[in-house]
Amino acid sequence: MAHLPQQESDSDREDDTATARAKRRIAALEQELETIRASKRSKPSNSNVHKGRGIRRLVSLFDSLEDLVAENDRREDLLQSLDSQDELVTSREYVQDRTFSSFNELLRCLPWLKKKLYLDVEELDSILKELRKGADSARGDDTANLKHAVVSWLTELFHPLDPPLRTTIKDDRGFVHNTTGMLLCPVEYMWSLSSTKDKIRDRDSDFLVTAYSWPAFIYKDYSFDSANIEKGLFRSTLLLKAFKHLFTSPSSAKEIDADGNGADVITASQRRRSSENDTVNRSHLRFALSNINSWRSVDGDFDYYDFYNNIVDFFEVVPGADAQARINELLKWWNRKVFGKIRTVPLTSAQLGKFSVARMSSQREAHEGDSP
C-alpha cells in the first residue's frame, strides 16, 4: 500500500518563517553596522578638511601648520629652560614672534586641536595634512572667485574699460592693461606718464615693483599724498568690495556705501583678527588684478609674503599712542562700511523700566485684585 506524503505541520512552517525573519534582521543589522563603520572611517577626514577652510583667512595666509606647531614646541622648550616667570615676561623673543601669535590664533579658531598635539606623531601629521588641504582649497576658491568678480567691479568703477577685460583668463591684466596697471602701480611712480609705463613693463631697475611700495589700489580714490603717505591708506572702494565678497557674501559687495554708527571694532577684534582678515583680502585682490594665472608667492620682483607682513606690521607694530589711535579709527571705519548699523546696545535696568513692556507689567501688578 502506497504511503501518502507527510504534510508539513503548522509548527514547522512557523519555525521556518521565524528563521527567515531572523536571517533578514541579521542581514539588515550587518548592513547597518557596515554603514556606520564606513561613516566613521570617512567622517574625520572630511570634517577636518572642512574645519581647515578658514585657516588662510583667520590665522595665516602663508605659514604651514607644521611650522606653527613646531614653533609652539620650541616655545615650550624655552619655557622650561627659563629660570623664573619674570624672565618669561621680559623676554621679547618669547612674546613678539608672529609665528607663535599665529599658532595661538589657530588654537582660538580650532580649540579642539590643543588636545591633538599630544597624539602620536603620525596621527597628528594626518590631521594637519587634512586641515592644510582644506585651507589651501579655500584659498584657491577665494582667488578663483575674485578672478571673475573683479572684472565687473572694474567695469563699474572705471567704465569704459579699453580694452574690456575677460573673466576667464588673466593674461590681459596686470601692467599689460592700463586700468589694472594704474591700480597696481606703486604710488611713488606716476602711471599717467608713458615713460613710467614703459619702464615698469621693462622692469627697469629704477622702476621696480616690489612689496616695499604701497600700490595705488589700496588708497582712497587710488591716489596718495606724498606729504602724508598714511592718508587714505586701506580705504579704497575695491578693497571694500573684495572684503565683503569674501567675508560677508558676494551679493553684499554690490553695496559699499553703508555708514553705520561705529560699532566698537576693538571688541569685535576679540572675535576675529581684523588685521589678518584685511591682509588676506588685500593679497587676494592684488593677485586678482595681476596677470598671473596660478597662485604663487612671488610675481616678478613682487613678493606676496613680504607684502602680507608689511600690512600686518602696519596694524600690529605701531610707534606709539597716536599711531594706534589712527589704526583704531581706521578699523572703526571698516566696521561701519562693512557692517553698518548693527551694533546691539546693552540696556540698563533703568532704561528697560521706561519702556512700555515693563511699565505695563507694573500696571498689571498694581491693578491686581481691583476687579469685583
- Alpha-carbon distance of 215 to 298, in angstroms, equals 16
For residues 113-125, average pLDDT: 84
Residue 216 near residue 187, CB atoms below 8 Å:
yes
Same domain membership, residue 335 and residue 210 = yes
DSSP code string of 284-350 = HHHHHHSS--S--SEETTEEHHHHHHHHHHHHHS-SSHHHHHHHHHHHHHHHHHHH-S-PPPPPPHH
Residue 280 near residue 61, CB atoms below 8 Å:
yes
Same domain membership, residue 46 and residue 185 = no
- Alpha-carbon distance of 204 to 165, in angstroms, equals 26
Residue 62 near residue 297, CB atoms below 8 Å:
yes
pLDDT digits (tens, 9 = 90+) for 48-60: 888 888 888 888 8
Q: How many structural domains are present in the chain?
A: 2
- Alpha-carbon distance of 298 to 305, in angstroms, equals 8
pLDDT at 276: 47
Tell which of 108, 127, 146 closes a domain: 127
Same domain membership, residue 285 and residue 267 = yes
Q: Which domain holds residue 110?
A: 19-127
Same domain membership, residue 157 and residue 100 = no
CA-to-CA dists, residue 248 to 160, 243, 251, 269, angstroms? 28, 8, 9, 16
pLDDT digits (tens, 9 = 90+) for 230-287: 999 999 999 899 888 888 888 888 876 654 433 333 333 333 444 445 555 567 677 7
Give residue 204's pLDDT band: very low, low, confident or very high (50, 70, 90): very high
Same domain membership, residue 150 and residue 123 = no
Torsion angle, alpha carbons of 35, 36, 41, 47, to 10: 110
Give residue 207's pLDDT band: very low, low, confident or very high (50, 70, 90): very high
Residue 217 near residue 182, CB atoms below 8 Å:
no
Q: Is 242 inside any structural domain?
A: yes
CB neighbours of residue 75 within 10 Å: 18
Tell me the HSE value of 357 on the side-chain side, using a 13 A CA sphere.
Answer: 3
DSSP code string of 181-224 = HHHHSBTTS-TTSHHHHHHHHTT-TTS---TTS-BGGGBGGG--
Same domain membership, residue 234 and residue 102 = no
Tell which of 80, 101, 127 closes a domain: 127
Cell numbers found for residue 220: 582712497
pLDDT at 179: 93
Strand partners, 233: 219
**Average pLDDT score over the chain:** 80
**Cβ-based neighbours of 182, under 8 Å, separated by 6 or more:** 191, 192, 216, 222
Tell me the HSE value of 76 on the side-chain side, using a 13 A CA sphere.
Answer: 10
For residues 202-210, average pLDDT: 93
Same domain membership, residue 155 and residue 251 = yes
Cell numbers found for residue 68: 606653527
Tell which of 127, 153, 171 closes a domain: 127
Same domain membership, residue 188 and residue 298 = yes
Strand partners, 298: 303
Same domain membership, residue 74 and residue 31 = yes
Record the pTM: 0.67
Same domain membership, residue 321 and residue 183 = yes
Q: Is 6 inside any structural domain?
A: no
**In terms of C-beta density within 10 A (0-12 exposed, 13-18 middle, 19 or more buried), how is residue 355 classed?**
exposed
Cell numbers found for residue 295: 597662485
Same domain membership, residue 184 and residue 331 = yes
pLDDT digits (tens, 9 = 90+) for 191-202: 999 999 999 999
CB neighbours of residue 353 within 10 Å: 13
Q: Is 291 inside any structural domain?
A: yes
CA-to-CA dists, residue 305 to 9, 48, 154, angstroms? 85, 26, 25
**Cβ-based neighbours of 298, under 8 Å, separated by 6 or more:** 304
- pLDDT at residue 227 greater than cutoff 70: yes
Closest by CA to 73, choosing from 52, 93, 96, 100, is 100
Same domain membership, residue 216 and residue 189 = yes
